[in-house]
Structure 1
Amino acid sequence: MITPPDTLPYRHALTLPAVGSAVRVVRETAEQVLAEWGAGARERGRDAALLILSELVANSVRHAAALSPNVTVLFAGGPGTFAFGVHDRHPYRPALFASAGTAPGRGLATVMELTHGLGGSAVVRGDVDEGGKSVWITLPMRLGGR
């Protein structure tokens, strides 16, 4: 069973302008976070997690920037679990079950294939005021204590 993100002891948050360079900064930050939390470069699922994260941030930049000038990424981790949420203030909530063969949704279909292939889960959570959302990915991953 995968631990819910709100019960994980390790935390990190990052808010950036919703511009193309945010993808690189978020990916570099995720690499540092994972290293600090004990997930080495060869950890199973690490590269897939970075790809999933990059795709979600790129989607926020590409599709939500007009209504959401910032994108926020929340990282959470603990023994056996790495979770991250990508938040923007655009009210549209994407379907996470899109077919890989359909035009819009190819990136999210890849996200879902990778997530499920690793034994993880994905959910879209709307903001309380319905003005935005977060896409949360939870993956099994060995993280060690510092």
Structure 2
Amino acid sequence: MHTMPEGLPLRNVLSLPAAGSAVRTAREVTEQVLTQWGISPRHPSADAALLILGELVTNSVRHAADHCPNLTVIHTAGPGTLAFGVHDRHPYQPALHGAVAHTPGSGLAMVTELTLGLGGTAVVRPDSDGGGKSIWITLPL
């Protein structure tokens, strides 16, 4: 269900209700996790990660709350890499890279542009049953 990037030894999983408070909680927990893992809040990827994560959680709350009462945030990291995913059970799988061309200025376009601008990757991974997805962001450290 939450297919993670391979080979990253650090991991944290956070389940949240699909409600407006999830955005703030996800950001706060992410800041704590990054600090515990020795990733400076001043690192360029740290600020970007918080911004991107906030947008992805906001989208899950807005669009998936009717399909599932909860969402999951997964953080992983290893040497030189930070990855995080937001999982919900809404079956719609947005085209992240198409968002830049088709909906410039949208939240997903911002997510994609910021991720790629930092040399990272953005991918949508469907659940095996097709009933949900995880959006994974990988950023260099």
Q: TM (normalized to structure 1)? A: 0.89
Q: Which amino acid aligns with 2:12?
A: H
RMSD of aligned C-alpha atoms? 1.5
Aligned residue number for residue 116 of structure 1: 116
Offset, 1:102: 2.7
Q: Does 2:11 match 1:7?
A: no
Moved over 3 A (4+): none
Give structure 2 stretches of 5+ with no counterpart. Answer: none
Alignment partner, residue 144 of structure 1: none
TM score, norm. by length of structure 2: 0.92
**Which residue type is aligned with residue 90 of structure 1?**
H
Aligned to 1:19: 19
Shift of 1:42: 1.0
Distance in 1 of aligned mates of 2:101 and 2:40: 30
Alignment match, 2:135: 135
Q: 1:69, 1:137 → 2: CA distance?
A: 23
How many Å apart are 1:100 and its aligned residue? 6.6
Query: Which residue number corresponds to residue 99 of structure 1?
Result: 100
Alignment: residue pair count: 137
- CA distance in structure 2 between the aligned counterparts of 1:138 and 1:38, rounded to whole angstroms: 17
- CA displacement, residues 53-87 of structure 1 (integer Å, 9 cap, x when unaligned): 00000000001100011010011001100000100
CA distance in 2: counterparts of 1:75 and 1:101, whole angstroms: 29
Letter in 1 for 2:57: V
Q: Gapped runs of 5+ residues in structure 1?
A: 142-146
**Preserved CA contact (<8 Å) 1:100 1:110:** no
Q: What SS class does the counterpart of residue 7 from structure 1 fall into?
A: coil
Residue 54 (1) aligns with residue 54 (2): yes
**Following TM superposition, by how much is the alpha carbon of 1:99 offset from its aligned partner in structure 2, in angstroms?**
2.8
Whose helix fraction is larger, Structure 1's or Structure 2's? 2
- Asked whether the equivalents of residues 100 and 106 of structure 1 are also in contact (C-alpha less than 8 Å), the reply is no
The answer to whether the Cα contact below 8 Å between 1:8 and 1:78 also exists between their aligned partners in 2 is: yes
For residue 94 of structure 1, report the CA deviation from its aligned partner: 0.6
Which region of structure 1 is more displaced relative to structure 2, 126-135 or 40-49? 40-49
The percent of aligned pairs where both chains have the same amino acid is: 66
